[in-house]
A and B are shown apart, each in its own frame.
Chain A
Amino acid sequence: MDQQILNAIFIGSIYALFAVGYTLVFGVLDILNLAHSAVFMLGAALTYSLVINHGQSFLVACIIGVAASGLMGLVIEHVCLRPLRRRRAPPIAALISTVGLALIIVAAIEQGQRGTLFGWLWVDGANSVAFPPGTIPNPTWHIGDLTLEASKVAVIPISVALMLALGYVIRYTQVGRALRAVAENPRTARLMGLDVDRMISLTVVISSALGGVAGILFGVALGDISPYIGRDNVEVRGLAVIVLGGMGSVPGAVVGGYLLGLIEVFAVVALGSGARGGVAFAALFLMLVLRPQGLFGAQLREKI
C-alpha cells in the first residue's frame, strides 16, 4: 500500500506539472492548447536524442530540451493562435489549429530515421525507447517495504518547486500582475498600455517549457519515450485534471493532478487493474455533474 501511495504521488506530480501549463494558456486565452501534449513529447524525444545520438551530457540535453519546448510555444503562438486572434476567429478555430500542429509534430517525429529530414531530432521512428541503464545515474534505495528510485523521487521536488515558482511569479511580480490583467480583460489591459501580444507569447512559452520539463521527467523516470507518449498518457488526462481543478486555475491544476494520480492508483488497488482509466473518468464525470466549475472554480473569481 505504501508503495502505491508513492506511485500515486509520483505520477500525480507529472500530471500536475503538465496540467499547469495546459491551464495557464486556458486561463489567459480561453483556448485549449491541444498541441501541449506534442510539446511534452518533443521535450522528451529531443533530450533523449541529444544524449544518445549526439553525445551531450544529460544536463546540457535537459537545458536544450526545455529551451526548445519553450521555443515551440512561440511557434504555437505565431502559427496557431495569433493569426486567428487577429481575425477574431472563435476559440474553437484556435483549438482545431493546435490539434493540427500536434499531429504535424507527432508525424514529423514518427518519420525520424537515420539519414532522413528529421534524423537529427529522432532516429527511432515509431518505436519506444528508454535511456539505457547507466546513462543517467539512478540509485535505488530500499526503506522497509518501500522502493525509492532516484529518478522518480526527483520528479516530486522538481515539480513542486516549478509550480511554486510559477505561483510566486503570477501572484507577486510585475509580469504576473500583467498576465492576470490580460487574463481578466485583454482590451482593458491594452488600454492600460500593456503589450497584450507579448504577454500572450510569454504565457505560451512558459506553458510549453513546463510541458517540456514534464515530458523529460516522464521519459526519464518511466523509461518510455516514443512519438505517442503525449497523446497516450497525458493529453486526455491533462484535460481531466484541469476540469477537476477548475478550468484556468493554476492551484486547481496542481490539486487536480495529484488527485487524479491518487484516484488512478487506488482504482487499481481497490477495484482491480482494469478499472484505472474508467474510474478516473467516472470521477471527472461526477465532478462535471455535481460541481461543473471544478474544485477551485468558484472561490477564485479571478483567473490564473
Chain B
Amino acid sequence: MKRLHLVAWLAAALLVAACGSSPGGGTSNANSYSGKTIKLGAILSITGAGGVYGPQSRDGANLAVKQINASGGVNGAQIALTINDDASDKAQSAQVAQKLIQSEQDLALLGPTLSNSAVAVHPLAESLKTPILAVSTTGIHIVPDCNFPATTPCKYVFRDSLGEETAIPTNIKSYATDKHPATGVLLVAQDDKFSSDGGKIVQDTVAQYNINLLKTIKFNKAEADLSPYVTQAVQAKPDVIFITSLGGIPAKIMTEARKQGWQGQFLGGNGFNTATVSKQAGADGKGARSASAWYLGNTFASNKEFVDAYKAEYSKDPDQFAAQGYTAIKVLADAAKRANLTFSDLAGDRDKLRTAMESVNIQTPLGPFQFTSTHDVKQTVWVIAMDGAGGFTLVHEVKQS
C-alpha cells in the first residue's frame, strides 16, 4: 500500500513537472520578471555549536546572490536573500522559519544548518507548503521522510548536501577496492546523533566488503581524554580505524593513535571534510580518507569560477559548506527562472518553484547537479585524503548512477 502511494505520488510529480516545464521553457522571455524581487530566507547557525559551519554557508550563498544580481538577475528579477541566525537552537530555528514563511512571505527557504534543527523546521515548511532546501544537513530522515517516523514523502523539502548514508559507504567501498583491509575498529561518540548515525552506517556497511569489525568503542563527545579508548583500539591491531565524529575529535583520535605507534588507515565521514580538521590533525592525519560533496582542487569550469570568485570576495579558500550554500542559490535561481512565477499568487508561485526544482539539471561547484526522485542530491562523490598540511588531495571520483 505504501509503495503504491509512493508510485502514485512520483507519477503525479513527474506529470506536473512535465506540464510545468513545457510552457516555461517555450514561452517565457528573458525579461518577464523585470522589476520584481525574489525573496529568499536562509536559516543558518551563525552562532552556537553549528557556528563552525553556518558562516561558510552564508558566505557561499551571498556570493551567488551577488553574482546573479550583477548579471541581470533571474529573468530580470533581483534576488533578496536574508540570513537569519538560529543560534544552533532547534526552537529558535522553527520560530525563524515561521516568521520567514508567514510574515516575510519568502518564496523559498534555505537551511537550517543542523540536522537537529531540521527535524523541527522541515515539517513546518512542509505543512505551510513552502519549498525549503537543506544546505548542510547530512543526517538520516531529512529527505524524503521529513516527518519521520511517518513515511509519507515530504513534497517541499529538498537537500543539496551529501548524506552520510551515501558518503560513508562510498568511502568504505573505494578503500576496500583499493587495499582490501581485513579488520577494523569503530570509534563513535555515543551521545551525538551525527556520530552514532554514522557509526550505524559503518556497522551496516563493513560486512559487504569482508571487513571484520573487531570492536565498536563508544565514548562521550565532551570527554577530553580519549587516550583509554584509542589505546583499546590500537591494541586490537586493526587495519582500519573508522571515526564518525565531528569537530576536534577526529584530529585528537588520529594524533593519539599515531603517538601510540599505530600505522593503519583512518576512514571517516563528513566530519573530516573541513580544512580545520585536516589542519588540526596535521601530519598525523596524512592519508585519512573520507567521501566529500566537493573538492577544492577540482578544475572544471563551474568549480574554478566559484573558487576564484570566493577567494576574490573573502580572501580565503571556500570549503564544502560554502560550495553547498553557493549551489543552493544557483539551484533556486535556475528553478525560479523556469517556474513562470506570477509574483501575485504566493502559494501558487511556491508550488511552481517546487515543481521546477525537481527538474533542476545544472553545472555547479559540486559537479553536475540534479535531485533524485526523493529530493536528495544526485551528484558525483569525491573521495579525498588529508595531505598532512591542512588540505586534501583527490583520490577517486565516484559518479552516482
Contact = CB atoms under 8 A, between A and B. Distances in A.
A128 B247 contact: yes
B342 interface: no
A4 B51 contact: no
Contacts of A229: 224
Contact of B232 (A132, A273, A277): A273
Contacts of A132: 282
Given A149-B259, A277-B220, 7 more contacts: A7-B225, A127-B52, A222-B252, A224-B224, A224-B248, A233-B225, A276-B228
Contacts of B313: none
25 contacts: A3-B231, A3-B235, A7-B225, A11-B225, A125-B47, A126-B48, A126-B49, A128-B247, A128-B248, A130-B280, A132-B282, A147-B260, A218-B224, A222-B224, A223-B252, A224-B224, A233-B224, A264-B228, A265-B228, A268-B229, A272-B218, A273-B217, A273-B228, A274-B218, A276-B219
Given A125-B51, A132-B282, A224-B248, A273 B231 contact: no
Question: Which 8 pairs of residues, A with B, have the shortest CB-CB distance?
Answer: A232-B222, A224-B224, A128-B248, A268-B228, A273-B217, A274-B218, A147-B260, A7-B227
Of the candidates A4, A228, A229, the one having the most CB atoms from chain B within 10 angstroms of its own CB is A4
A10 B226 CA distance: 12
Contacts of B231: 3-4, 7
Contacts of A269: 228, 232
B255 interface: yes
A193 to B, nearest CB: 46
Interface of B: 47-49, 51-52, 190, 217-220, 222-225, 227-229, 231-232, 235, 247-248, 251-252, 255, 259-261, 280, 282-283
B259 A147 contact: yes
Contact of B261 (A4, A133, A147, A268): A147
Contacts of A273: 217-219, 228-229, 232
Contacts of A274: 190, 218
Contacts of A228: 222
A142 interface: yes
Interface residues of A, number: 35
Contacts of B282: 132-133
Contacts of A116: none
Contacts of A7: 225, 227-228, 231
A59 to B, nearest CB: 23
A128 B231 CA distance: 23
A90 B51 CA distance: 41
A143 to B, nearest CB: 11
A88 to B, nearest CB: 38
A223 B284 CA distance: 14
B77 to A, nearest CB: 36
A205 to B, nearest CB: 26
Contacts of A233: 222-225
B259 A140 contact: yes
Contacts of A125: 47, 51
A16 to B, nearest CB: 14
Interface in A206-242: 218, 222-224, 228-229, 232-233
A128 B229 CA distance: 20
Interface string A121-136: 0000111111011000
Nearest to B219: A273
Interface in A1-57: 3-4, 7-8, 10-11
A199 B147 CA distance: 62
A226 to B, nearest CB: 8
Contacts of B280: 130
Contacts of A222: 224-225, 252
A159 to B, nearest CB: 15
Contacts of B49: 126
A218 B225 CA distance: 9
Contacts of B222: 228, 232-233
A277 B191 CA distance: 13
Nearest to A267: B228
Contacts of A3: 231, 235, 260
A126 B228 contact: no
A126 B45 CA distance: 13
Contacts of A133: 282-283
Contacts of A10: 227
Nearest to B52: A127
A91 B54 CA distance: 44
Contacts of B260: 3, 147
Contacts of A268: 228-229, 232
